[in-house]
Structure 1
Amino acid sequence: MAGTTPTEAQVAELTAELAALEDPRIREVNERHGDDHGVNLGKLRAIAKRLKTEQELARGLWATGESAARLLALLICRPKAFTRDELDAMLREARTPKVQDWLVNYVVKKSPHAEDLRPAWSADPDPVVASAGWALTAERVVKKPAGLDLGALLDVVEAEMKDAPDRLQWAMNNCLAQIGIEHPDQRARARAIGERLEVLKDYPTSPGCTSPYAPVWIDEMVRRKDAGTTS
């Protein structure tokens, strides 16, 4: 690896290691969900555990553009080390669901820029970017609702969720359900919106799992809360 920096050499070694872990069967399953890698996530997490936190290496892995490398980057980075503009650029580059999901949940939610990005992303004309904004809003509905206009959020969901593209629709539906679950004063309206729009009403749900259909989801989670369990 003459002429390369230590980080460049590490990136090359790690991308080769990830390539060796590629499993065509895993890739086939992932591709059905819009993802484009075939690496077992347990094995990928084991590599991250070995590396620990390596911010510059994370930047190098992200720059490869390869999904498996980017997922590894998100596990070893320092979320607070990214600027607002870096996070915005990364989201717009993260076009596969798993990379976007990990970026939002593992990095952006831990960043001091999350609240600045949330409304900007929610209003973005790109539905993939907007879905990230709604994911951040759902998080705030649960953990830090003070200052949010829940009625206005329900207005937007009611007007736009039915015809939203899949990933944005899913994120808006999550926000709708969280409003109904966490805020009793908004629960009846949230349930009514879900019943009227019927988004994800027929979504296939495995035995023992809760349907993502908002009225069912709200009722089940409220029942668990009242019973004193979240299992």
Structure 2
Amino acid sequence: MTEPATTRRHEHLDSILAELTALEDPRVRAANEARGDDHGVNLGALRVLAKRLRTQHDLALALWATGDTAARLLALLTCRPKTFAPEQLDAMLREARAPKVQDWLVNHVVKKSSHAEGLRQAWLTDTDPVVAGAGWSLTADRVVKDPDGLDLDSLLDAIEAGMGHAPDRLQWPMNTCLAQIGISDPDHRERAIAIGERLRVLEDYPTPRGCTSPYAPAWIAEMVRRQNAE
């Protein structure tokens, strides 16, 4: 007799979870935990596994439901982003407390969804700094790709008023948005640089040789230099 599809799916889930367990590396876990991520799976190996599995939305939902961080990261690489309702995406963001899961949810799923703009507007002023940070991440992306209709002056007002004392999970995407405004819009570049110089957010952030500093005035200057050199 043929086994029910649900049974087969659960067995498949168990085999994938076993693979994730086998990929666990204590050194990777220690490095990730220092950044707030509770998993020990190398992300390159995770992407290889996702590429082999391809899109399997039911499996992705089952992986997400485990609550395990590595399983949720795999879920975000194997789901169908356009099938989620905005309420589902909002709930997923609020329950996913691992920073890497939150980042991948926004970048791999929400940005590919038709609900991205509505969620951007709803999240931007949320009282939860993680949720608001997701709104600012989506806003920075829109500044680069589709700035028409954005009130850049109001965005700069909000950044100037709130970025200096914002928690890290909110400060980083606000800073990214500030830099992208300065890079993408010459009319607002001078003000963006001035805000960055006054707030001095990430001015002393350790930056490896050859990499661009996240300090907004330096970031803007370098990217504009590259644009002019092309």
For the superposition of Structure 1 and Structure 2, which TM-score range results when normalised by the shorter chain?
over 0.9
Q: Counterparts of 1:216 and 1:147 in 2: how far apart (Å)? A: 27
Q: Counterparts of 2:26 and 2:18 in 1: how far apart (Å)? A: 16
* Selected match of 1:87 from 82, 86, 89: 89
Give me the TM-score of the superposition, normalised by structure 1.
0.96
Give the aligned partner of residue 117 of structure 2. Answer: 115
Following TM superposition, by how much is the alpha carbon of 1:5 offset from its aligned partner in structure 2, in angstroms? 2.0
* Selected match of 1:158 from 157, 160, 173: 160
* Selected match of 1:146 from 145, 148, 168: 148
Gaps of 5+ in 1: none
Q: Counterparts of 2:158 and 2:5 in 1: how far apart (Å)? A: 54
Following TM superposition, by how much is the alpha carbon of 1:167 offset from its aligned partner in structure 2, in angstroms? 1.1
Following TM superposition, by how much is the alpha carbon of 1:200 offset from its aligned partner in structure 2, in angstroms? 0.3
Runs ≥4 in structure 1, deviation > 3 angstroms?
Answer: 1-4
The one-letter amino acid of 1:191's match is I
Q: Counterparts of 1:2 and 1:36 in 2: how far apart (Å)? A: 34
Q: Counterparts of 2:62 and 2:181 in 1: how far apart (Å)? A: 39
Give the aligned partner of residue 44 of structure 1. Answer: 46
Identical aligned pairs, as a percentage? 68
Q: Counterparts of 1:64 and 1:57 in 2: how far apart (Å)? A: 11
Following TM superposition, by how much is the alpha carbon of 1:12 offset from its aligned partner in structure 2, in angstroms? 1.4
Aligned residue pairs, count: 228
Q: Counterparts of 2:91 and 2:200 in 1: how far apart (Å)? A: 34
* Selected match of 2:127 from 125, 128, 133: 125
* Selected match of 1:171 from 170, 173, 188: 173
The one-letter amino acid of 2:120's match is R
Q: Counterparts of 1:55 and 1:200 in 2: how far apart (Å)? A: 39
* Selected match of 1:206 from 205, 208, 212: 208
1:95 counterpart SS class: coil
RMSD: 1.3
1:22 counterpart SS class: coil
Gaps of 5+ in 2: none
2:201 counterpart SS class: coil
Give the aligned partner of residue 60 of structure 1. Answer: 62
Matches within 5 A, 1:11-50: 11-50=13-52
Give me the TM-score of the superposition, normalised by structure 2.
0.97
